[in-house]
Amino acid sequence: MGFISRRTIALTAVAASAALLAAACGSSSSSTTSTPPTSSAIPQISAASFNLTFSAMTTIKPLAARGKGKVAVILPDTVSSTRYVEFDAPYLKKSFQLAGLPTSDTIIQNALGSDATQYSDAQADITSGATVLVVDPLDSGVGARIESYAKSHGVPVIDYDRLTLGGTRKYYVSFNNTYVGTLLGNGLVSCIAAWHVAKPQVMVMRGAPTDNNATLFANGYLAVLQSKFSSGAYKDVANPAGTWDPPTALTEFQAAYTAHPSINAVLMPNDENGAPIIHYLITKGIKPMTFPVTGQDATLTGLQNVISGYQCGTVYKPIYLEAQAAAALAMYLRAGVTPPAGLVNGMAMDVNTHVDVPSILETPEWVVPSTVQSTVIKDGFVPASQLCSGSYAADCTKYGITG
């Protein structure tokens, strides 16, 4: 696709707004009555507009009347992360409601880990009147099929969280996933030093090979760790193929740990995969703050492992930002207008087609015990009452976690 500078888009938007204003105010001074404008100016928001109050969504309410058809969101599963049920779905629903999209025009589904279901959901949604699809593809294969089908029916697609390689989507909304990996790598390095791990013997684990995000995460953390491996400061002991399935991750770890009992640190790309491995290490007598393991997604279990000293930290992605960004883009597309230049704040490369995809990329955070209160608790991502239950109460007291 051709490249349009942000300046050009911004000037176009200003010109359009000026024309609309002139039309609204251009009646003769001798007229005794004023004619109301026939249409409102296109609402202007930016990628920095989203916050916990969801106020940006009410700003774009005029778009609801300009558009037609349904917006369908198809989420991937409930296994790789509980986030899709606990946060993405409700945040997306709230975003569309506040943006004025009728409930009857909002479809939010979960493919439950099935490529066939995700594809058939997309077909059914378009048949039922969806004019925009927001898809978090299970993998690029099904994502490309969905986007090809949607394109043939004139329906634009927004890639959500994962980029479909070889796809034809209109936009992409996610976090800076290479930076997620950088946070994981730096987090492990910091933890190894803080926990005084002698002669680090590192196992590097990955997400599913079919997931482009897993590749981007790995690009980030391998860039951090490679200098440690090259210098001999750390030893790169094992590198399993990768998975987002926790039982499979445990099997991969157990096989490597049995073959290399010297392993004393793990670069783990998410909390869900790390949880059974940490439990396994505890049964082996591993003590807190001795065996670094990283994580991502700020799950309840992951955070409890963090504050109890079994996990170095977790990458927290404020999903309410991502959900609002996707919903806002969908509302502009549904209304048939170009999103404001300030909303689309980046590009993501589709390495299969070598196309730069216009994107909204939010910024993740690395959370350690001392920052739990100021991040996930403040945002209401995890209730302190749940995090601090049972044996974790003392850990919460130690780190000033309340609420």
Residue-wise pLDDT tens digits, 165-213: 999 999 999 999 999 999 999 999 999 999 999 999 999 999 999 899 9
6-10, 185-189, 267-271, 304-308: least confidently modelled range:
6-10
What pLDDT sits at residue 82? 84
Partners of 294 in the beta sheet? none
307 and 396 Cβ atoms separated by less than 8 Å: yes
In which band, very low, low, confident or very high, does the pLDDT at 80 lie, cut at 50, 70 and 90? confident
Q: What is the DSSP string of 155-179?
A: --EEEESS--TT---SEEEEE-HHH
Q: State pTM to two decimals.
A: 0.83
How many whole angstroms separate alpha carbon 135 and alpha carbon 74?
5
Phi, psi of 5 (to 5 degrees): -65, 155
Q: Is the pLDDT of residue 274 over 70?
A: yes
In which band, very low, low, confident or very high, does the pLDDT at 303 lie, cut at 50, 70 and 90? very high
Residue ranges, CATH 3.40.50.2300, the chain: 41-175+318-362, 177-316+365-399
Q: Which helix (H) or strand (E) holds 362?
A: strand 355-362
In which band, very low, low, confident or very high, does the pLDDT at 81 lie, cut at 50, 70 and 90? confident
Instruction: Average the pLDDT over 105-115 and give the result.
Output: 97
How many whole angstroms separate alpha carbon 196 and alpha carbon 198?
6
Instruction: Average the pLDDT over 139-161 and give the result.
Output: 98
What pLDDT sits at residue 41? 84
What pLDDT sits at residue 9? 34
How many whole angstroms separate alpha carbon 59 and alpha carbon 45?
8
Instruction: Average the pLDDT over 26-40 and give the result.
Output: 36
Phi, psi of 14 (to 5 degrees): -65, -45
Instruction: Average the pLDDT over 110-134 and give the result.
Output: 98
> What average pLDDT does the structure give for the chain?
91
In which band, very low, low, confident or very high, does the pLDDT at 316 lie, cut at 50, 70 and 90? very high
Span 344-397, pLDDT tens digits: 999 999 999 999 999 999 999 999 999 999 999 999 999 999 999 999 999 999
Which CATH architecture describes the domain 177-316+365-399? 3-Layer(aba) Sandwich (3.40)
Reply yes or no on domain 41-175+318-362 having CATH 3.40.50.2300: yes
Query: From residue 380, how far is each of 44, 92, 163, 290, 403 by CA, in Å?
Result: 28, 16, 28, 30, 9
Q: What is the DSSP string of 35-69?
A: PPPSSPPPP---TT---TT-HHHHHTTHHHHH--S
Q: Is the pLDDT of residue 11 over 50?
A: no
Span 221-257, pLDDT tens digits: 999 999 999 999 999 999 999 999 999 999 999 999 9
The radius of gyration of the chain from alpha carbons, rounded to an integer in Å, stands at 24
74: three-class secondary structure by DSSP:
strand
Residue scoring higher pLDDT (176 or 21): 176
What pLDDT sits at residue 40? 53
- What does DSSP say about strands 346-350 and 355-362: parallel, antiparallel, or unpaired? antiparallel
